[in-house]
Structure 1
């Protein structure tokens, strides 16, 4: 392990056929793929990783060259440098960036609902200044919630929250529990925290904000699958403006993705029945979309 290359935690799901590298979203872990990966192994060799600073992987500065180098090292070590990157949320963005940086060996990319918060003009019917104001509030809330420290019995309380989410959204509790247990760690001072740490998380948010996603999509010349959630994320208590904004964004995103697919024959857009939590809610729909694309 060096400052530039980190030996990531890897779950090798096995399987035969063209290899896939599964990438989770920001603040998540490879446990998110636990229900999807078994549906892919009949036709693919499947690896899932914890990105640096997440799950069981070591910490390190969150800069794109180093993060992409981590992934390259994983694929080289497993003898599958030409694996197709398949990512969810921020992992989907990383899949596209990785494919662009390794065009000589990477056959394409799969981005499952990795579109960030979009541009103000994508919020159909809303004033761009109004949208920008509230997006700034969202970013502040995101930043404030990073590097969450827990009391000694904090994991117990978090698991109770996850059980409530399981019952409300119909997500198997075991999937939610695995993610929490993989993300919680004891620090040197004895305190518990959820990974990634605050410094790494803020660096990651800066990376996300620095990227022009549709410009990246248009740079792709190899096949690109863009999976879009068909259902909105749940409401946020206390934010009355959140639901109308998300509805407006869904309209603008669907419009822009349709235009992109019309413009670029290498781009496939696949609506997937689920919210942003599609990997946990509807793993079959996710797997079907990936398998239809790779076939």
Structure 2
């Protein structure tokens, strides 16, 4: 599948930028110019101006392979936000020679397995997850891209429910930029959000470098310059003589 893409000119390292669920390549407009190199931002299949298609992780990676070839990217650093961060990990698994991969707060779904919420009783987790899923269901009714078929696949995908086992297999340098603040949620769901964050901190694999940032999950819109600086510093360490 040929993806819609935007090239942000620059010299130095090549970057491939992957947006989150329901986003598109314009999400990178403020951040991409701050990167030390040339960056290509894509619309993933079913998003933005890219064609529709069934969601299959290998097919999604095939789309990106074709994009890399089309733009002549030389072993790009793959940077993804949310869903894109999960894909960055899968990309690094497919391409062991990947110089570095970065996930921007893409790690584990907010509605994941009950054991991923330490400190809360099973009863509290079950009740709170039912409330959170009801909120998500209402939000999904307002989304036209991607399709409901893709959304339904992703909501039950093991990789999206918990990408940390994927990250544990990555041999390339891998950075997780972790949002330290909650998105706005009803007060009764704050304990679930805090427990979710505690579970991620507990379970991040040893091979993953973590940088926490004082931002919410919308970090690339809230602090594009700060996030770009973190990415640039991580990448520059990989290429020091």
Residue 66 (str. 1) matches residue 59 (str. 2) = yes
Within 5 Å, give how 1:145-224 maps onto structure 2: 145-146=139-140, 148=142, 194-207=144-157, 212-224=162-174
Residue of structure 1 in register with 2:213 after alignment:
272
Q: Is the 8 A contact 1:21 1:84 kept in 2?
A: yes
Q: Are residues 1:254 and 2:195 paired? A: no
Instruction: Give the corresponding residue for 1:290.
Output: 231
Q: Provide, for residues 189-238 of structure 1, a one-character-per-residue CA deviation record: whole Å limited to 9, x for no partner.
A: xxxx63112122222223356654221121111100011002111124xx
Number of the residue aligned with 2:14: 19
> For the Cα contact (< 8 Å) 2:132–2:189, is it kept in 1?
no
Corresponding residue of 1:108? 100
State the 1:133 CA deviation. Answer: 4.5
| Cα distance, 1:211–1:68 mapped onto 2, change above 3 Å | farther
Q: Provide the C-alpha distance between the structure 1 equivalents of 2:19 and 2:98, rounded to a whole number of angstroms.
A: 19
Map 1:215-254 → 2, pairs under 5 A: 215-236=165-186, 240-254=187-201
TM-score using structure 2 length: 0.89
Contact 2:28 2:41 in 1 (8 A): yes
Change in CA separation of 1:13 and 1:62 when aligned onto 2, cut-off 3 Å:
same
**Residues 52, 58 of structure 1: 8 Å contact kept:** yes
Q: How many residues align structurally?
A: 234
Question: Aligned partners of 2:88, 2:139: CA distance in 1, in Å?
Answer: 25
CA deviation profile, 1:50-90 (whole Å, cap 9, x unmatched): 11111111111111111111111100111115111100001
Which SS does the other structure have where 2:156 is aligned?
Answer: helix
Q: TM-score, with normalisation over the residues of structure 1?
A: 0.73
Q: Which runs of 5+ in 1 are unaligned?
A: 1-5, 149-192
| Distance of aligned partners of 1:255 and 1:203 in 2 relative to their CA distance in 1, 3 Å threshold | closer
Q: How far apart are residue 247 of structure 1 and its match?
A: 1.6
Gaps of 5+ in 2: 237-241
Distance 1:11 1:208 in 2: 30
